[in-house]
Amino acid sequence: MTGEPATVDAGAVDLLDPYVHATRDLTGRWRWLRRHDPVHWHQAGAAKGFWVVTRHADVLRVVRDSDTFTSMRGNMLGTLLRGRDPGAGRMLVVTDGRFHTGLRSLLVGGFAPRALRPVTHSITRATRELLRRLVERGGGDFVAEVAAQVPLQAICELLGVPEVDRPRVLELTGAAMLGEPADQAGMEARIAQSEILLYYTRLAAARRDAPADDVISLLVAGTVDDRPLTDEEVLLNCYNLVIGGDETARLALAGGLLALATHDEQWVRLMADPALVHSGAEEILRWTTPAAHVGRTVTADTELRGRALSEGDVVTLWMVSANRDEDVFAAPDTFDLARQPNRHLTFGYGPHFCLGAQLAREEIRALLAELRATVRSVEVTGPVRRLPSNFITGLSTLPVALTPR
């Protein structure tokens, strides 16, 4: 790293601290960085620091150029500062170059419109059922009862988890995502993670013997770089889909409902105009930005907005800031279901653009359509909690009362 910050940084916060993202409103901080220090060097205690990129145009420039800014060592701040992602070079999101292109083209068929049709049906069905049950009871925790369930159902459908196994897989995946490494829930999470990996190992073996019309079969039957994937690569990429598509979509759904509950005029508009289901889903994606950042490593000395970046530097791209960039979005801090155009970067951009973007969009559209059909009003009834994380940000609980239509 070379070069000094452009201006004195008065309101610095430790972006590494997971609780900062859960407890503080960083809107003003991001605005300051975009304006005064858009490519900012962040100290990281004893460890080497990292770059913080906050403007829309700069995020785009970096994620488009995977030769200079590689994902091969990881794509999250935490793992990049610790060294290397354990899946590096083998799991889609942390590969680059030929292997990434080959693996992505193998998987892309599983996300084509024809392949997604049954998944979309199952999303619509699950959303309808879960929401109606919640409405009948008058309300409850929207995260646990709806937002956590729909994305997992969708991933099970996509991967080809048989119906009979789903309750157990849903339970294990839910447990695997909970807790801090050091506490009891963290211990249980690790046990659940092992069990779920074992489950996918067995499912992959079954699909090797008898391929079906699902993503696991694509992984076990396909070749990348003229060779089949190893068992470990199959497993890591199943896991990539589960972690990539579960929590992120859950946070978009929950954050979307909270935004609607706290912006009465937008709720009224949505109820009056079915056309807002599509543009509204995009605005929810921008507003919630569940993946707050992605990370890259510099492969050769380079320059970004006048700052000198050195080979080996960690660069973090904060979509949570880019999605509020006043150079791109009119009134960026306004939640507007009719916003057009809406060039949000919630799914990233370039070679690693989210493979599940269409699926996630269907999940949010299904929620909006079902809210229109079923719910007259929504009210937040208790404290809303946020996940402590600098990577995946949003709500862990959302107690609501729902009045039927």
Binding residues (CB under 6 A) for ligand HEM: these are 63, 71, 75, 92-93, 104, 155, 158, 240-241, 244-245, 248-249, 252, 290-291, 294, 346-348, 352, 354-356, 359-360
Please report how close the Cβ of residue 118 comes to ligand HEM at its closest, in angstroms.
14
Please report how close the Cβ of residue 364 comes to ligand HEM at its closest, in angstroms.
7
**Helices of type H across 109-165:** 113-136, 142, 149-159
User: How many Cα atoms occupy the beta-carbon half-sphere of 70 within 13 Å?
Assistant: 19
Q: CB-based contacts of 371: which residues, under 8 Å, 6+ apart?
A: 131, 257, 260, 270, 378
Please report how close the Cβ of residue 349 comes to ligand HEM at its closest, in angstroms.
8
- Which residue lies nearer to ligand HEM by CB, 276 or 359? 359
- Which residue lies nearer to ligand HEM by CB, 140 or 151? 151
- Which residue lies nearer to ligand HEM by CB, 83 or 404? 83
Find the distance separating the first CA and the last CA of the chain, reported in whole Å.
58
- Which residue lies nearer to ligand HEM by CB, 252 or 384? 252
Please report how close the Cβ of residue 341 comes to ligand HEM at its closest, in angstroms.
19
Measured between alpha carbons, how far is 229 from 242 in angstroms, rounded to an integer? Answer: 18
Please report how close the Cβ of residue 350 comes to ligand HEM at its closest, in angstroms.
7
The closest alpha carbon to 75, from 361, 356, 319, belongs to: 319
DSSP 213-256: SSHHHHHHH-EETTEEPPHHHHHHHHHHHHHHHSHHHHHHHHHH
- Which residue lies nearer to ligand HEM by CB, 127 or 248? 248
- Which residue lies nearer to ligand HEM by CB, 135 or 161? 161
Measured between alpha carbons, how far is 300 from 385 in angstroms, rounded to an integer? Answer: 41
User: How many Cα atoms occupy the beta-carbon half-sphere of 67 within 13 Å?
Assistant: 1
- Which residue lies nearer to ligand HEM by CB, 31 or 104? 104
Token digits of residue 318: 């904060």
Measured between alpha carbons, how far is 55 from 372 in angstroms, rounded to an integer? Answer: 35
- Which residue lies nearer to ligand HEM by CB, 321 or 346? 346
Question: Could you give the C-alpha distances from 363 to 107, 212, 283, 324, in angstroms and in order?
Answer: 20, 24, 14, 23
Decide if 51 contacts 309 (C-beta within 8 A). yes
Please report how close the Cβ of residue 184 comes to ligand HEM at its closest, in angstroms.
29
Residue nearest to ligand HEM (CB): 356
Token digits of residue 230: 């190893």
Please report how close the Cβ of residue 17 comes to ligand HEM at its closest, in angstroms.
21
Please report how close the Cβ of residue 243 comes to ligand HEM at its closest, in angstroms.
9
